[in-house]
Structure 1
């Protein structure tokens, strides 16, 4: 039977790969690389660099295809439907790639892989799309997930901090959710997928923010401090970086003051 590896490749540094991931690279016959266009060519080049560095000497093929365009996601009830439509178009593509590029005979290329930015378990669609393909029943395959270093863990490491404090939880959420309000029951919040700097909604609480863009790459930018003191700088840096590169990946940790009776 065909086998698919879903390999987490880290937050941007080719050395983020685990030993387990490197071993998996050497089991793969065909790597499926999704091209996101000229603006995000750096994401494709990183994948090529990873294969040059960690899969040298191993015989494999590369199949590069254009990733389906995702429409701007509207707010409100229409959001899940827009995302669902995009994921189904991706499922069509994955189904075709697996069926056409991976055979089932003993002499065929039977092992494929998707190289997933960060960790496949955290705000990534690959696992859900593969499940949709399997549910269709048109192609058969087994799959294995190799965890990777997420932008969240890389961010905490670069700021030399933990994600939670003693006895307290941490919540990982999106900018869309943070704009609706601070999550109940937590003082430490990691925010991903924030295109509109939702931290501006919480200036009055003045939490500490640990912010990072392109973490783990040569373009890495880090800012840390009280939100009231650094919010304007983050917005300026973010805007300039996005204009320069055409895209941006940023993540941040907000740390609200705990009750004075709490002890870290």
Structure 2
């Protein structure tokens, strides 16, 4: 039986790799790398560096494949994501069928944690349900950008006995209302934090967490929102991409 590992590699710092992940890396014969274009070559390079750092037997190999892109613009978001995952499913099936021998172990190295805003596990489950590939797979958790953000800002995610909600910038921009005391926002391409009515809330923002390019900004939303917008635009222009996450919290006195 072919074996697949979905390994969470953390939010950017090679030191975020867990001992479980190191053991998993050393089981792998072939690593599947999804190429997202020249501007994101650093993401591929980091995966290669992690393998070089932690794998003791150099007998593994890499197979790169073009990563399908989601259709953007004036289109139905859910439908576009479903189409994207179907395209990825076909790519994954080809990789498994064409680049793995029976009995081999392959791995997808997932940024952050495979359970949080990543579709690799969902896609592998769909492949198994389709019956077009036969394999077994395991999931190895990783340190997410949410955990890294809180650690770098030296703050807890939650107030004592209080709730946390994790959402996306898209939902926030569409008017999502939350009564959570701590709101973590990911994948915000629209600077949706500027639409939050209570500008007295505290925001902890971070980009490229765990990498040499890491940027951190914190303060009252009304005081730092403009700075975050400027810094975010400049960083995206300079690097060609950006991964950022932020935490919005009510002041301790109001919790």
TM-score (norm 1): 0.93
SS at match of 2:96: helix
Residues 38-78 of structure 1 show CA distances to partners (whole Å, capped at 9, x for unaligned) of 01111011001101111143411110111112221646xx1
Query: Which of 195, 201, 205 is 1:201 aligned to?
Result: 195
Query: Which of 78, 81, 93 is 1:80 aligned to?
Result: 78
Name the counterpart of 2:61: 61
Matching of residue 13 in structure 1 with residue 7 in structure 2: no
Matching of residue 31 in structure 1 with residue 28 in structure 2: no
Query: Which of 121, 130, 133 is 1:136 aligned to?
Result: 130
Matching of residue 177 in structure 1 with residue 175 in structure 2: no
CA drift at 1:178: 1.4
Residues 160-192 of structure 1 show CA distances to partners (whole Å, capped at 9, x for unaligned) of 011110010100000111123354331210000
Matching of residue 102 in structure 1 with residue 100 in structure 2: yes
Matching of residue 219 in structure 1 with residue 213 in structure 2: yes
Which is further off, 178-187 or 229-238?
178-187
- The 2-side partners of 1:184 and 1:138 are apart by 41
**Does structure 2 conserve the Cα–Cα contact (< 8 Å) formed by 1:208 and 1:256?**
yes
- The 2-side partners of 1:89 and 1:197 are apart by 29
- The 1-side partners of 2:238 and 2:206 are apart by 16
**Does structure 2 conserve the Cα–Cα contact (< 8 Å) formed by 1:8 and 1:115?**
yes
Residues 76-125 of structure 1 show CA distances to partners (whole Å, capped at 9, x for unaligned) of xx111100001000000000100111122xxx6x1100000000000001
TM-score (norm 2): 0.96
